[in-house]
Amino acid sequence: MNKLIIFLSVTAIAVFIMVSCRKSLTGDGNANKTPNTYTIIDTIIRSGQNRFQSIVKIHWWGDDPDGFVKYYQYTFDKTITANTQWHKVVGQDSTFVLIVPNGIDTANFIFSVRSVDNKGAVDPTPVRVGYPIKNSPPTILFVPGIYNPTYTFPIVRLYWQASDPDGSDNIDHIELIWNDTTLRPTSVKASVSSAIFEATNLTTTNITTRIYPNNNLAALDSVVSNLKLKNNNQLFIRAVDKAGAKSKWVASFSMYVRKPKGDKLLVDAYKTPSANVESFYGQCMVNKGYSIFDTLKLFASNPIELAADNATQTKIFALFKTIIWFGDNTNSSLGIVDKTTNDFFTNGGKMFMANRLEPSFDANSPQLSITPAQSLYNNSDTTLLFPTDSLANAAKSGWATLKDTAFISVIKPMQLGNGTVNLYSSHLSVKDNVHNQTPPYPLWTGTSSIIAERLNGNNQPVFIYSEVELHLLNGNHNIDLVWAKILGEFGL
């Protein structure tokens, strides 16, 4: 009986505890509270020039009374509706580019931000701050080319880059003027980032220049004014955006623009310009009555004379009718001639070239296609030599015999193609490399053409090429006679 009473008592106590526990777990409990959002400032008053530029950095933060803020949402919609698109951001600051609409200078942007807590509750009262924005002006700068000629004929290419904080699409056009920003500038499209500027005439000292935008072969209808011949020049540029805001004027490097003296050009293509060789050819020209000519030091470093690109150099060479070219690197010279003289030859130009042949030059180089040579002699078993005092015999009647004044250790006679004429063959020696032969070396009996000419479709000489430097062939002191023949081939 006592056991039963104890059991019933324990059971009753257990039931009481269960009921009590159930009562403590039922009911609505505390509802999740929404987070709050804050910004450093709640009102901005700025006008005129004190307005913000288009790039602004905005800070915010939030708190949650019964949890934590998980992320934020922001919008620039002026009116918040059920359809407003909110953008998620985890951080508490961000930089925005607020683009003023085209055609106006200022605009007011409303920034709204709200917190979202760890349970997805959203701040029902987003913070809203107005930002008064003034259109940001664009910027522009010149970009260096591979070559930046500071001593040039009146054809030059320049490169530039424009940018705008409001986006590159906001740039409307580029303005250009030579030397004087108080003059009326010329406008080109915003998409133009480089141009060749070519003098329209050479009869006055203050001239206009055509504009070949980017890589276009056709010039624009508009021209840039105020280029000064025989003087230092700078091109000034500025960018203008669609709201009319302008960058500062930016000046190019200074360049002396020279006026061609005539239609004859000496090209010094020595890696280090050679005053002695220039003087040799200059005297040859003067002795034959041609005292008016220009000289281009192709690889000079101070001042730089080589054009910025092949297209510009092509236009420069096309200014002339006769080019006398001399250098110490066949690969460099033929490479440039191959890429920059098409217009020159198309316009009826005539060229004489004398280059020192370097040992590494490819005897089957495609660059030889512009010369009279199909290929050059090349045999690794033998080396052809042109000893001092050796002769070069004329292949044409009436041409004088030449004598070498220096030992030439590398020579590869030309294998001539169709439409060519041999002018000089040399007395060469041949060294047997296989058997380590020692001097004296026997005479070479194979092809030995060292000077030849290429003919055009009318069988007229247009390109005379010497693979021996001509000033080294004056041992008989008769180079003037030979030079007269060379110029005579060109109708001079």
pLDDT in tens, 429-481: 999 988 877 888 999 999 999 999 999 999 999 999 999 999 999 999 999 99
| For residues 234-260, average pLDDT | 95
- Condensed to tens digits (0 to 9), the pLDDT of residues 251-276 reads 999 999 999 999 999 999 999 999 99
Contact between 226 and 176 (Cβ < 8 Å): no
As a whole number of angstroms, the distance between CA 489 and CA 288 comes to 14
User: Residue 135: what pLDDT?
Assistant: 85
pTM score of the predicted model? 0.80
**Would you state the pLDDT for residue 15?**
34
Separation of alpha carbons 272 and 107, rounded Å: 60
Instruction: From 109, 236, 241, select the one nearest 164 (Cα to Cα).
Output: 241
388 secondary structure, DSSP code: T
Q: Is the pLDDT of residue 98 over 60?
A: yes
Segment 386-442, tens digit of pLDDT: 999 999 999 999 999 999 999 998 899 999 999 999 999 999 999 998 887 788 899
Quick one: pLDDT at residue 14? Answer: 39
CATH numbers and ranges of domains, the chain: 36-134 (2.60.40.10), 139-257 (2.60.40.10), 264-489 (3.40.50)
Run of H or E residues at 143: strand 139-143
Higher per-residue confidence, 310 vs 23: 310
Angle at 377 between CA 374 and CA 383, to 5 degrees: 160
* Res 168: pLDDT: 84
At residue 24, does pLDDT exceed 60? Answer: no
Give me the percent of the chain exceeding a pLDDT of 70: 94
Backbone angles phi, psi at 318, to 5 degrees: -70, -10
Q: How many separate helices (H) and strands (E) can be counted in the chain?
A: 6, 32
Burial class of residue 484 (count of CB atoms within 10 Å of its CB; 0-12, 13-18, 19+): middle
Residue at 432: amino acid letter:
D
Residue 329: CB atoms within 10 A of its CB come to 17
What tens digit of pLDDT does each residue of 310-346 get?
999 999 999 999 999 999 999 999 999 999 999 999 9
Average pLDDT, the chain: 91
pLDDT of 473 reads 97
62 CB-near residues (< 8 Å, 6+ apart) = 35, 36, 37, 38, 69, 72, 115, 123
Q: How many CA atoms lie within 13 A of 152 on its CB side?
A: 30
Confidence of residue 183 (pLDDT cuts 50, 70, 90): very high
Q: How far apart are the first and last CA of the chain?
A: 148
Predicted confidence at residue 13, as pLDDT, reads: 38
Residues in a beta bridge with 159: 143, 194
| pLDDT for the residue 6 | 35
pLDDT at residue 29, as a whole number: 61
pLDDT-based confidence at 28, cuts 50/70/90? low
Instruction: Annotate 182-237 with DSSP letters as a single string.
Output: TSPPEEEETT--EEEEEES-SSSSEEEEEEEETT-SSPPS-EEEEEETTEEE-EEE
Contact 174, 239 (CB under 8 A): yes
